[in-house]
Chain A
Amino acid sequence: MHVMEGFLPTPWWQIWFAISIPVIAYGIYKLNRLVNEKREILPLLAVAGAFVFVLSSLKLPSVVGSCSHPTGTGMAAIIFGPAISAVLGVIVLLYQALFLAHGGLTTLGANVFSMGIVGPVVAYLIYKAGMKANLNFFLVVFLAATLGDWATYVTTSVELALAFPDPTGGFTASFGRFATVFAVTQVPIAIMEGAITALLFKYVINVKSDILVELKVVEEAVVRKIKGVAA
């Protein structure tokens, strides 16, 4: 779930835009360069973007009796990095803000920050650390996607708590309430997202691993191990 239209007062909605716009601009620059250098990544980029599209359209029930969306940004973050993920995220967020009244235009900056930037950064860092530690590839992908999704919602809670501090308890009390609504709800949904992301990676690697190796996302040895297990 994103911050709804109009629910971030001045100066917060401007602040999040000010932070997010440079990242998106950098992401567009990086994207242009990547596509010009290696045109063959386009199908994979389409898949990463489509994955965000699909996953953020699903409203999944959580264990506490409410619904929320997964984010789907884990795959884009792992393959293309956080900056390009921000670009993909902004496209999806615009579609949902304009056609579904889900999220908003004033809150676009804040929502890109949580879903397009912080989430992917967390996923990316966890993935790189996990692969360096030579852990099982699917486990690392699962952890990266799950914790990235969860970080997105923790960030949304922070954004709302900063804008609406509790009159008595301040930011902390407010954050506790928003986190209960968003972050606790999100745990099972994030786990589902991690599992699906790992599964999709399995199919992508089996079918087109060369681009992933070329982009230095996975090492050849890891690919061979995965395909060897699968064969």
Chain B
Amino acid sequence: MSRKLELIVLAIFLVFAGQFLYMSSTTDAEYGGADGEAEGVIMELTDGNYEPIANPIWEPPSGEIESLLFGLQAAFGSGIICYFLGYYRAKNKYENELGYKNSKESKSKSRLL
């Protein structure tokens, strides 16, 4: 299988990873969330007068719990994607390459013979 696309994606990833490692070790960039920065802009635009009209129903008590929830989100989604890919890859292999047919199909076919 041609792995050209994988190589291109890997190259893009390495550029960003490399740039990130370089910047994080040489500058004092904080890498905070962009929505926190937006909050800062809003406060500046309203001279600190803006009061949010609502508060979150529940906030994760710490960054660790937040990591857990984000991690669960990623793990759950990845599980679904990988199950799909694995299932259909195996199905293709068994049906096409190995010639395995659904037993109901082959039984009805043998009856026709």
User: Interface of A with B (CB < 8 Å)?
Assistant: 1-10, 13, 43-44, 46-47, 49-54, 56-59, 61-68, 95-102, 104-106, 138, 160, 164-167, 174, 177-178, 181-182, 185-186, 188, 191-192, 195-196, 198-200, 202-204, 207-208, 229-231
> Do residues B30 and A99 form an inter-chain contact, with CB atoms below 8 A?
no
Contact of A198 among B9, B38, B41 (CB under 8 A): B9
Is B1 at the interface (CB under 8 A from chain A)? yes
Q: What CA separation (Å) do A49 and B50 show in the bound complex?
A: 35
Q: Assess A67 versus B54: contact at CB under 8 Å? Given A164-B42, A192-B13.
A: no
Beta-carbon contacts of B28-52 to A below 8 Å, as 1s and 0s?
Answer: 0111111101110110011000101
> Do residues B74 and A54 form an inter-chain contact, with CB atoms below 8 A?
yes
> Do residues A182 and B70 form an inter-chain contact, with CB atoms below 8 A?
no
Q: Write the nearest CB–CB distance from A162 to chain B, whole angstroms.
A: 12
Q: Write the nearest CB–CB distance from B16 to chain A, whole angstroms.
A: 6
Is B60 at the interface (CB under 8 A from chain A)? yes
Q: Write the nearest CB–CB distance from B5 to chain A, whole angstroms.
A: 6
Is B113 at the interface (CB under 8 A from chain A)? no
Q: What CA separation (Å) do A174 and B38 show in the bound complex?
A: 11
> Do residues A53 and B45 form an inter-chain contact, with CB atoms below 8 A?
no
- B residues less than 8 Å from A66 (CB atoms): 29-34, 37
> Do residues B54 and A192 form an inter-chain contact, with CB atoms below 8 A?
no
- A residues less than 8 Å from B59 (CB atoms): 101
Is B112 at the interface (CB under 8 A from chain A)? no
Q: What CA separation (Å) do A56 and B77 show in the bound complex?
A: 10
> Do residues B78 and A50 form an inter-chain contact, with CB atoms below 8 A?
yes
Beta-carbon contacts of B1-27 to A below 8 Å, as 1s and 0s?
Answer: 110011011001100100110011001
Q: Write the nearest CB–CB distance from B41 to chain A, whole angstroms.
A: 5
Q: Which size bracket describes the interface of B in this complex?
A: 35 or more
Q: Write the nearest CB–CB distance from A136 to chain B, whole angstroms.
A: 10
Q: Write the nearest CB–CB distance from B56 to chain A, whole angstroms.
A: 4
Q: List 25 A-B contacts (CB under 8 A).
A: A4-B35, A4-B38, A4-B52, A5-B56, A7-B39, A9-B53, A50-B79, A54-B77, A59-B70, A64-B29, A66-B33, A99-B58, A99-B60, A102-B35, A104-B54, A104-B56, A160-B38, A164-B42, A174-B45, A177-B41, A185-B34, A198-B5, A198-B9, A203-B85, A207-B88
> Do residues A50 and B80 form an inter-chain contact, with CB atoms below 8 A?
yes
- A residues less than 8 Å from B84 (CB atoms): 43-44, 46-47, 204, 207-208
Is B106 at the interface (CB under 8 A from chain A)? no
Q: What CA separation (Å) do A44 and B53 show in the bound complex?
A: 39
- B residues less than 8 Å from A191 (CB atoms): 12, 16
- A residues less than 8 Å from B1 (CB atoms): 230-231
Q: Write the nearest CB–CB distance from A127 to chain B, whole angstroms.
A: 17
> Do residues A160 and B74 form an inter-chain contact, with CB atoms below 8 A?
no
- B residues less than 8 Å from A188 (CB atoms): 16, 19
Is B55 at the interface (CB under 8 A from chain A)? yes
Is B89 at the interface (CB under 8 A from chain A)? yes
> Do residues B41 and A181 form an inter-chain contact, with CB atoms below 8 A?
yes
> Do residues A106 and B34 form an inter-chain contact, with CB atoms below 8 A?
no
